[in-house]
Chain A
């Protein structure tokens, strides 16, 4: 990196902007720092990633956790410095900032927003790409699943990059059709709720055997790895992460990885609200809601739904989810779109009431365990309150 004055200046200015941002209580400073770097050197991402081993992680659900887990495994088993974003920053500015922070680290594990995969793939020249899953998310912004799959399909062309995928997801299988090296992991197949038709040829897919095999050939390639069918979403992601780490030379088993990765996933956080501990799931799209609902064991459930940009401005997807395991429980809805979720539950026969905010909802439950499922910005607001960050200053 030495000898490149423009880049050095950009990184110094970026670091300063980042510190300033933190000092002003405006968050972690990554985004601002990265914006300054990219404004001063538009090629900063390519320059900062050359001569390094980059691993790129993308997908609809589990990006942040998988990125963190992959970085943890590499740190432990490769004994080399690993750069990664702790906060889930996954757009160009955040990526530039994290690369600039420790430019001497050999490894960088980069989480990437689905829409930025083509650009980041080009600029970062990763060694390994991990594609976790693709399902409906933020339709107003990213568009339909098929559009994202098509974008990726155009991106991964024959080269020496290895792409690790869950081949049971037909959108991922389609995305890597033209790729040079693919490591296919299979969990013995499972029906994909968004893949009634083939992403490649649009024929109706036959899911009657719990797996797909299109006459056009999609799904016909054998998996390289077969893993346990009973694993849930986060566990499947861990298997993919372990395979990616192995490609980089880490000798680790899934069991060792499980031990290394703390048992509580990042998407569940215990908030202390009005003196009560509330285990809270972050869920942001139909697939992550289904997983969160599957984990509900308490009889008192709090649901908080917002529809700000990152949550998805259209709440229609709440109707894609089956809430029948909430029937018979006491459910309170809150958040800016509390009526959207409350009415959806009412139509499914769940008894619901509403509360003006999270804390009031918690106080409305008599006693006993409470579990919460909240949308992205609602989770961020709870975190901000816990950290004492004033709401208008948080990102």
Chain B
């Protein structure tokens, strides 16, 4: 079985190391003997419409607006998502997949509308620091990441968050962090988030390809656990 992973505009949305999420998915999929194709989409290239997983990362305001504009004009990501493709969007990417967000001049602009989420900048200080959340489904454990964002994101009433905040800021409303709607994941967690949370990496892969064989990577587990213990997400005994 083969899997196509599409990394979108990593030159524009690669300020916070989120491009690593693609490498982790490739690594964990190959460990299951899956054939993986990683497609890099750069400005000027058409976005493939038949990818299995699409990845968006965090970036600065100007590049975020430029990426959003190109994705809108291309239409490929919306097409693929409507067909059930998996999307993982971090930080600026998370804001892009919502209904609305501020553009680089601060004016509200429409997003891709893959999830019911509205991002606005307010006068509160930038949210910077370690973030610990408790997901409510998918059998996911406590997740950790590093957030660094100005905007706050309000989810629509029917939108399930990725988890509830145990420490940190997250979306900034109702104690929620990120979004997990169908096959679309959004989060403010950098790290990259899939490096620090191998269980989330597998949840993303499973959305795309269904049940998989187990893959134990002691180093990945040790890293995830060290972060969770250090940040008080779990106790040493668990």
Contacts and interface: CB of A to CB of B under 8 A. Distances in A.
A347 B23 CA distance: 7
Interface string B1-37: 0000000010110111111100110010000000000
A202 B63 contact: yes
A197 B63 contact: yes
B66 interface: yes
Contact of B43 (A136, A204, A339, A343): A204
A320 interface: yes
A104 interface: no
A203 B27 CA distance: 34
A146 B223 contact: no
Nearest to B27: A347
B222 interface: yes
A340 interface: yes
Contact of A197 (B12, B17, B27, B222): B12
B195 A314 contact: no
A97 B63 CA distance: 41
B20 A339 contact: no
Given A140-B148, A144-B15, A347 B60 contact: no
Given A140-B128, A344-B20, A313 B219 contact: no
A395 interface: no
B192 interface: yes
B220 interface: yes
Interface string A192-209: 001011110011100000
Interface string A133-161: 00010011001111100000000000000
A316 B16 contact: yes
B146 A339 contact: no
Contacts of B146: 140, 313-316
Contacts of A340: 195, 223
A304 to B, nearest CB: 16
B191 interface: yes
Given A145-B60, A196-B63, A343 B219 contact: yes
Contacts of A199: 62
A116 interface: no
A202 B66 contact: yes
Contacts of A315: 146, 191
Interface residues of B, number: 37
B9 to A, nearest CB: 8
Contact of B66 (A143, A145, A204): A204
A346 B23 CA distance: 11
Given A202-B65, A344-B195, A196 B23 contact: no
Nearest to A202: B62
A342 interface: yes
A313 B129 contact: yes
Interface residues of A, number: 33
A183 interface: no
A383 interface: no
Interface in B86-104: 104
B118 interface: no
B20 A316 contact: yes
A136 B15 contact: yes
A375 B61 CA distance: 28
A139 B219 contact: no
Contacts of B148: 139-140, 314
B190 interface: yes
Contacts of A320: 14, 17, 19
Given A196-B43, A347-B23, A339 B16 contact: no
Contacts of A257: none
Given A136-B15, A316-B17, A146 B195 contact: no
Contacts of A316: 16-18, 20, 146, 190-192
A344 B15 CA distance: 17
B187 to A, nearest CB: 13
Nearest to B28: A347
B63 A347 contact: no
A201 to B, nearest CB: 9
Given A316-B190, A318-B17, A343-B220, 15 more contacts: A140-B146, A140-B148, A144-B60, A145-B60, A146-B61, A194-B15, A196-B9, A203-B66, A314-B16, A314-B148, A314-B190, A315-B146, A319-B18, A319-B192, A340-B223
Shortest beta-carbon contacts, A-B, top 4: A316-B17, A319-B20, A202-B62, A196-B11
14 contacts: A140-B148, A143-B126, A144-B60, A198-B62, A204-B66, A313-B129, A316-B17, A319-B23, A320-B14, A343-B195, A343-B219, A343-B220, A344-B20, A346-B220
Interface of A: 136, 139-140, 143-147, 194, 196-199, 202-204, 313-320, 339-340, 342-344, 346-348, 352
Interface of B: 9, 11-12, 14-20, 23-24, 27, 43, 60-63, 65-66, 104, 126, 128-130, 146, 148, 190-192, 195, 217, 219-220, 222-223, 226
